[in-house]
Amino acid sequence: MNSLINRFFIYSKKYLTLSSALLLSFIFITVFIIPLFPQDSHRILFTISYTIIFILSALAVRDNQKRVALFALAVIAVQWISLILNMPVLFKISLPINFLFFLMIVGIFIVQIARAENVTLLVLMESISGYLLLGICFSIMVALLETLKPNSFNFNKISDTVNQNILYNIEYMYFSFISFTSTGYGDFLPLVPAAKSLSILISISGQLYIAIIIAMIVGKYLNKS
Protein backbone atom coordinates (compact mmCIF):
# COMPACT_ATOMS: atom_id res chain seq x y z
CA MET A 1 0.00 0.00 0.00
CA ASN A 2 2.77 2.39 0.94
CA SER A 3 4.61 1.62 -2.31
CA LEU A 4 1.48 2.43 -4.31
CA ILE A 5 1.14 5.77 -2.53
CA ASN A 6 4.80 6.58 -3.18
CA ARG A 7 4.40 5.65 -6.84
CA PHE A 8 1.32 7.88 -7.08
CA PHE A 9 3.22 10.91 -5.79
CA ILE A 10 6.14 10.15 -8.11
CA TYR A 11 3.80 10.19 -11.10
CA SER A 12 2.07 13.34 -9.85
CA LYS A 13 5.40 15.19 -9.84
CA LYS A 14 5.82 14.31 -13.51
CA TYR A 15 2.50 15.99 -14.30
CA LEU A 16 2.78 19.16 -12.24
CA THR A 17 1.71 21.30 -15.18
CA LEU A 18 -1.50 19.28 -15.59
CA SER A 19 -2.24 19.45 -11.86
CA SER A 20 -1.63 23.21 -11.83
CA ALA A 21 -3.86 23.68 -14.87
CA LEU A 22 -6.69 21.72 -13.26
CA LEU A 23 -6.21 23.60 -9.99
CA LEU A 24 -6.41 26.97 -11.74
CA SER A 25 -9.51 25.81 -13.63
CA PHE A 26 -11.36 24.82 -10.47
CA ILE A 27 -10.33 28.04 -8.72
CA PHE A 28 -11.86 29.96 -11.63
CA ILE A 29 -15.01 27.83 -11.36
CA THR A 30 -15.21 28.52 -7.62
CA VAL A 31 -14.79 32.27 -7.91
CA PHE A 32 -16.60 33.04 -11.16
CA ILE A 33 -18.98 30.20 -12.10
CA ILE A 34 -20.55 28.79 -8.93
CA PRO A 35 -22.02 32.17 -7.84
CA LEU A 36 -24.14 32.05 -11.02
CA PHE A 37 -26.06 29.00 -9.75
CA PRO A 38 -29.14 29.29 -7.49
CA GLN A 39 -28.23 30.22 -3.93
CA ASP A 40 -29.81 27.09 -2.46
CA SER A 41 -27.14 24.99 -4.17
CA HIS A 42 -24.16 27.18 -3.27
CA ARG A 43 -23.21 25.44 -0.04
CA ILE A 44 -22.90 21.97 -1.54
CA LEU A 45 -21.30 23.29 -4.75
CA PHE A 46 -18.69 25.30 -2.86
CA THR A 47 -17.96 22.35 -0.60
CA ILE A 48 -17.41 20.06 -3.58
CA SER A 49 -15.30 22.67 -5.34
CA TYR A 50 -13.17 23.30 -2.25
CA THR A 51 -12.65 19.56 -1.85
CA ILE A 52 -11.31 19.29 -5.39
CA ILE A 53 -9.11 22.36 -4.83
CA PHE A 54 -7.67 20.80 -1.67
CA ILE A 55 -6.73 17.63 -3.54
CA LEU A 56 -5.30 19.41 -6.58
CA SER A 57 -3.34 21.79 -4.35
CA ALA A 58 -1.61 18.82 -2.74
CA LEU A 59 -0.75 17.46 -6.20
CA ALA A 60 0.52 20.85 -7.42
CA VAL A 61 3.29 21.20 -4.83
CA ARG A 62 6.76 19.87 -5.61
CA ASP A 63 8.04 19.05 -2.12
CA ASN A 64 6.44 17.45 0.96
CA GLN A 65 3.47 16.23 -1.04
CA LYS A 66 2.57 13.58 1.52
CA ARG A 67 2.35 16.06 4.39
CA VAL A 68 0.32 18.50 2.32
CA ALA A 69 -1.95 15.65 1.19
CA LEU A 70 -2.55 14.55 4.80
CA PHE A 71 -3.39 18.12 5.76
CA ALA A 72 -5.76 18.31 2.78
CA LEU A 73 -7.52 15.09 3.82
CA ALA A 74 -7.97 16.42 7.35
CA VAL A 75 -9.44 19.67 6.03
CA ILE A 76 -11.77 17.78 3.70
CA ALA A 77 -12.97 15.52 6.53
CA VAL A 78 -13.77 18.46 8.82
CA GLN A 79 -15.58 20.32 6.07
CA TRP A 80 -17.77 17.40 5.00
CA ILE A 81 -18.60 16.32 8.55
CA SER A 82 -19.73 19.86 9.39
CA LEU A 83 -21.88 19.87 6.23
CA ILE A 84 -23.46 16.41 6.58
CA LEU A 85 -24.10 16.59 10.32
CA ASN A 86 -24.95 20.32 10.18
CA MET A 87 -22.69 21.16 13.12
CA PRO A 88 -22.28 24.97 13.50
CA VAL A 89 -19.38 24.63 15.95
CA LEU A 90 -17.43 22.37 13.61
CA PHE A 91 -18.27 24.73 10.76
CA LYS A 92 -16.62 27.59 12.68
CA ILE A 93 -13.59 25.40 13.37
CA SER A 94 -13.31 24.52 9.67
CA LEU A 95 -12.95 28.17 8.67
CA PRO A 96 -9.51 28.84 10.25
CA ILE A 97 -8.34 25.37 9.15
CA ASN A 98 -9.31 26.16 5.55
CA PHE A 99 -7.58 29.53 5.84
CA LEU A 100 -4.35 27.97 7.10
CA PHE A 101 -4.34 25.38 4.32
CA PHE A 102 -4.89 27.91 1.54
CA LEU A 103 -2.33 30.26 3.05
CA MET A 104 0.19 27.42 3.20
CA ILE A 105 -0.42 26.62 -0.47
CA VAL A 106 0.05 30.28 -1.43
CA GLY A 107 3.34 30.33 0.48
CA ILE A 108 4.48 27.13 -1.25
CA PHE A 109 3.63 28.59 -4.66
CA ILE A 110 5.63 31.74 -3.92
CA VAL A 111 8.64 29.63 -2.91
CA GLN A 112 8.28 27.47 -6.06
CA ILE A 113 8.11 30.58 -8.23
CA ALA A 114 11.19 32.02 -6.53
CA ARG A 115 13.14 28.78 -7.09
CA ALA A 116 12.15 28.44 -10.75
CA GLU A 117 15.01 29.13 -13.14
CA ASN A 118 12.86 30.24 -16.06
CA VAL A 119 9.45 31.80 -16.62
CA THR A 120 7.38 28.85 -17.79
CA LEU A 121 3.68 28.14 -18.19
CA LEU A 122 3.80 26.37 -14.83
CA VAL A 123 5.23 29.47 -13.13
CA LEU A 124 2.52 31.67 -14.63
CA MET A 125 -0.25 29.30 -13.55
CA GLU A 126 1.16 29.11 -10.02
CA SER A 127 1.27 32.91 -9.90
CA ILE A 128 -2.38 33.26 -10.89
CA SER A 129 -3.50 30.40 -8.64
CA GLY A 130 -1.65 31.92 -5.70
CA TYR A 131 -3.30 35.28 -6.27
CA LEU A 132 -6.82 33.84 -6.43
CA LEU A 133 -6.21 31.50 -3.48
CA LEU A 134 -5.03 34.43 -1.39
CA GLY A 135 -8.29 36.20 -2.19
CA ILE A 136 -10.20 33.08 -1.10
CA CYS A 137 -8.09 33.02 2.08
CA PHE A 138 -9.26 36.49 3.02
CA SER A 139 -12.88 35.69 2.18
CA ILE A 140 -12.64 32.89 4.75
CA MET A 141 -11.22 35.34 7.31
CA VAL A 142 -14.10 37.73 6.62
CA ALA A 143 -16.52 34.81 7.07
CA LEU A 144 -14.85 33.82 10.34
CA LEU A 145 -14.98 37.37 11.73
CA GLU A 146 -18.61 37.77 10.74
CA THR A 147 -19.45 34.37 12.24
CA LEU A 148 -17.72 35.09 15.55
CA LYS A 149 -18.84 38.71 15.73
CA PRO A 150 -22.02 39.32 13.70
CA ASN A 151 -22.55 42.70 12.08
CA SER A 152 -18.83 43.38 11.78
CA PHE A 153 -19.73 44.34 8.20
CA ASN A 154 -22.99 45.66 6.75
CA PHE A 155 -23.81 42.45 4.88
CA ASN A 156 -27.09 41.98 6.77
CA LYS A 157 -28.40 45.31 5.51
CA ILE A 158 -28.55 43.90 1.99
CA SER A 159 -29.63 40.29 2.60
CA ASP A 160 -31.03 39.66 6.07
CA THR A 161 -32.79 36.43 5.15
CA VAL A 162 -29.89 34.64 3.45
CA ASN A 163 -28.45 31.70 5.34
CA GLN A 164 -25.00 32.52 6.73
CA ASN A 165 -23.45 29.33 5.38
CA ILE A 166 -24.52 30.38 1.90
CA LEU A 167 -23.80 34.08 2.37
CA TYR A 168 -20.12 33.77 3.19
CA ASN A 169 -19.43 32.17 -0.18
CA ILE A 170 -20.92 35.06 -2.13
CA GLU A 171 -20.91 38.44 -0.41
CA TYR A 172 -17.85 37.57 1.68
CA MET A 173 -15.86 36.50 -1.35
CA TYR A 174 -17.07 39.51 -3.31
CA PHE A 175 -16.02 41.94 -0.57
CA SER A 176 -12.64 40.24 -0.18
CA PHE A 177 -11.72 40.39 -3.86
CA ILE A 178 -12.98 43.95 -4.26
CA SER A 179 -10.81 44.99 -1.29
CA PHE A 180 -7.97 42.74 -2.47
CA THR A 181 -7.80 44.61 -5.77
CA SER A 182 -8.23 48.00 -4.01
CA THR A 183 -11.37 48.69 -6.05
CA GLY A 184 -13.72 49.46 -3.17
CA TYR A 185 -17.20 50.09 -4.58
CA GLY A 186 -18.50 51.01 -1.13
CA ASP A 187 -21.56 48.74 -1.12
CA PHE A 188 -20.11 46.65 1.74
CA LEU A 189 -18.30 48.37 4.60
CA PRO A 190 -16.41 47.27 7.75
CA LEU A 191 -18.18 48.56 10.84
CA VAL A 192 -15.97 47.53 13.78
CA PRO A 193 -12.23 48.05 14.39
CA ALA A 194 -11.36 44.36 13.76
CA ALA A 195 -13.18 44.44 10.43
CA LYS A 196 -11.44 47.67 9.43
CA SER A 197 -8.03 46.24 10.32
CA LEU A 198 -8.77 43.11 8.30
CA SER A 199 -9.86 45.25 5.34
CA ILE A 200 -6.57 47.16 5.47
CA LEU A 201 -4.64 43.89 5.58
CA ILE A 202 -6.57 42.57 2.57
CA SER A 203 -5.84 45.69 0.51
CA ILE A 204 -2.15 45.81 1.36
CA SER A 205 -1.66 42.07 0.78
CA GLY A 206 -3.14 42.25 -2.70
CA GLN A 207 -0.76 45.00 -3.78
CA LEU A 208 2.27 43.35 -2.17
CA TYR A 209 1.56 40.00 -3.83
CA ILE A 210 1.36 41.57 -7.28
CA ALA A 211 4.53 43.62 -6.71
CA ILE A 212 6.54 40.65 -5.43
CA ILE A 213 5.39 38.17 -8.09
CA ILE A 214 5.84 40.58 -10.98
CA ALA A 215 9.30 41.52 -9.71
CA MET A 216 10.32 37.85 -9.56
CA ILE A 217 8.90 37.01 -12.99
CA VAL A 218 10.47 40.05 -14.66
CA GLY A 219 13.80 39.34 -12.96
CA LYS A 220 13.82 35.75 -14.19
CA TYR A 221 12.89 36.84 -17.72
CA LEU A 222 15.67 39.45 -17.82
CA ASN A 223 18.22 36.97 -16.48
CA LYS A 224 17.28 34.47 -19.17
CA SER A 225 17.55 37.16 -21.85
Q: What is the pLDDT of residues 102-133, one digit of tens each?
A: 999 999 999 999 888 888 888 999 999 999 99
**pLDDT score of 14 more than 70:** no
Helix, coil or strand: residue 190: strand
What's the pLDDT tens digit per position in 34-43?
Answer: 988 888 888 8
User: For residue range 186-200, what is the model confidence (pLDDT) as tens digits?
Assistant: 888 899 999 999 999
**pLDDT score of 19 more than 70:** yes
What 3-state class would DSSP assign to 116?
Answer: coil
What rounded mean pLDDT belongs to the chain?
84
Nearest to 133 by CA among 218, 206, 182, 47: 206
Residues 6+ apart with CB under 8 A from 78: 90, 93, 94, 97
pLDDT at 225: 63
pLDDT band at 56 (very low <50, low <70, confident <90, very high): very high
pLDDT in tens, 132-147: 999 999 999 998 898 8
Bigger pLDDT: 206 vs 169: 206
What pLDDT, on a 0 to 100 scale, did the predictor assign at position 53?
94
Residue 201 has pLDDT above 90, yes or no: yes
Q: Which residues contact 4 (CB under 8 A, 6 or more apart)?
A: none
